[in-house]
Amino acid sequence: MHSDANIPKQRKILRVGVIGSGAFVEQCHLPGLQSHPRARVVAVCGRRFEHVRSLASRFNIPAIHCDYRELLARSDIDAVTIATVNSEHATQAIAAFAEGKHVFCEKPISTDVMSARKMLHAAERSGKIHQVAFTYRYLFGVQELRRRIRRGEIGVPHQLRAHFNSWEGLLLDSPSIVGFRGKAALAGGGVLYDVGSHLFDLARFILGPIEVVTGFSQRIPRLKSRGRKGETSVETDDFSTALFRHANGVYGQWFVSRVAPSYGDKAHVEVVGDNGALRASLSRGSVDVLRMSSSLKPEWKELSLPEEASNQMPSCLGLMMRSFVDACLKGKLNGDVDASFHDGFAAQQALAAVTKSSARLPWVRLENK
C-alpha cells in the first residue's frame, strides 16, 4: 500500500473508490479519474467477483470488493464515485457521507424526492464535496451559449427548448431497456429519468431555477428478450415531454424519445430571445457545436469554440471526472460548471412533477361531428 504521509500538502493525492462495475464505469469513471495526475483509484466494487477482478486488472486497481460497505470502511479512501442502479444511490451515498467520504453520484441521484432529500441533508451535514454527473454542463458549446445569453447577445430570452431522439429503445440489446433501465423499481423511469434529468438540469444551469412543471410520459407496450430466460415486458417510459416556467418568467419545453428517428444532431438545446437564438448540440463531447440565428439572418451560423470541441471524442466524461478530483483537492466545487446534490435534488423534484402531471393531465375531449 502506498503512503501519502510524505507528499507535500500542495501535491496531495486523492484516493478514490468506485462503487459500480458496469459499462459506464469502464467508459467514464475509471479512465476519467485515472487521467488526473493527482488521483489514484484504490478500489472498485461490484457484485460479480470475476467481472470486478477482470475490470480491476485492466485498470491496474489494487483492491476489489463485492460489498460497498467494505469499500466505504477503508481508511485509505478519501472519495467515492457511485455508478450503480438508481434505486441504490441513496443508501450508498448516505453511507459514504457517514464514513467521511466525498461523493460523486450518477444521475438521477435517486428514484424519488424523499430519498433524494435525505441524500441532500446527509451531504450538507457531512461538510464533504457532493457532485452529480450532469455531463452536458461540460460541453464547450453549452458553456459558451450560457455566457452569450448572460452577455445579452440574443436580447431578453423568452423560450428554452430541447430535443432528444433515438431508435435505441427498439433494439433488443439496447442499454436503454436491457438491465436496470427497463425496470421501474430499479431505474425509477425510462427516458424521463435517463435524459429528462439532464435536460431539467441543463435548463436550470442556463436560465436559473424552475418554479412550475407539467408534462407526461408514455411507454410503448412490447416485450424484450432475456436470452434463455425468455421475454419480459419493458416497464419504463419510452418518450416524455415537459413544459415548465423558470422563476425569471422564461418558458421551457423538452421532448425525449428512445423510439423515434433523430434528425441532424441527435440532441440539442436552444434558447430564443427577442434578438436571436442560440442552439447547442448535446452529446458526451463527440458532437460539440454552437450555432446562432436571428430574424434578420435566419440561417444558422456556426460559432467558434475551443479546438477540443471538434476532436469528436467523448471529452465531457474526462472533464467531469477531473472536475470532481479538483473539487475534492480544493475543498469546493467549480461554481461555474459543477453540479451539486442541490442541483440533483432540484432535477428530482422536476422529474416527480412530470410523473404526477402525467397521471392527472386534464385532457380536453373534442367534439368530432
pLDDT in tens, 57-112: 999 999 999 999 999 999 999 999 999 999 999 999 999 999 999 999 999 999 99
Q: What is the pLDDT of residue 174?
A: 75
Q: pLDDT below 70 — which residues of the chain? A: 1-10, 176, 223-231
CB atoms within 10 A of CB 305: 17
Return the amino acid letter for 228.
Answer: R
Q: What spatial distance separates the first Cα and last Cα of the chain, rounded to whole Å? A: 79
CA distance linking residue 66 with residue 136, whole number of Å = 31
Angle at alpha carbon of residue 117, lines to 115 and 120, rounded to 5°: 115
Q: Which residues contact 247 (CB under 8 A, 6 or more apart)?
A: 208, 209, 210, 211
Pairing of β 267-273 and β 157-165: antiparallel
- What DSSP element (H or E) covers 218? strand 210-218
> Cβ distance 256 to 239 under 8 Å?
yes
Task: Please write down the HEC assignment for all residues of 286-335.
Answer: CCCCEEEECCCCCCCEECCCCHHHHCCCCHHHHHHHHHHHHHHHHCCCCC
The type of residue at 276 is G
d(CA 87, CA 199): 20
% of residues, the chain, pLDDT over 70:
94
Cell numbers linked to 272: 430564443
The C-alpha R_g of the chain, in whole angstroms, comes to: 21
The pLDDT value given to residue 7: 46
Q: What is the DSSP code string of 85-130?
A: -GGGHHHHHHHHHHTT-EEEEPSSS-SSHHHHHHHHHHHHHHTS-E
Asked if 272 and 298 count as a contact pair (C-beta separation under 8 A), the reply is no
CB 66 within 8 A of CB 311: no
Mean model confidence pLDDT for the chain: 93
Listing DSSP states for 14-33 in one string gives EEEEEE--SHHIIIIIHHHH
Specify the pTM. 0.93
CA distance 36 to 318: 9
- How many Cβ atoms from other residues are within 10 Å of residue 62's Cβ? 13
Q: Residue 152, SS3?
A: coil
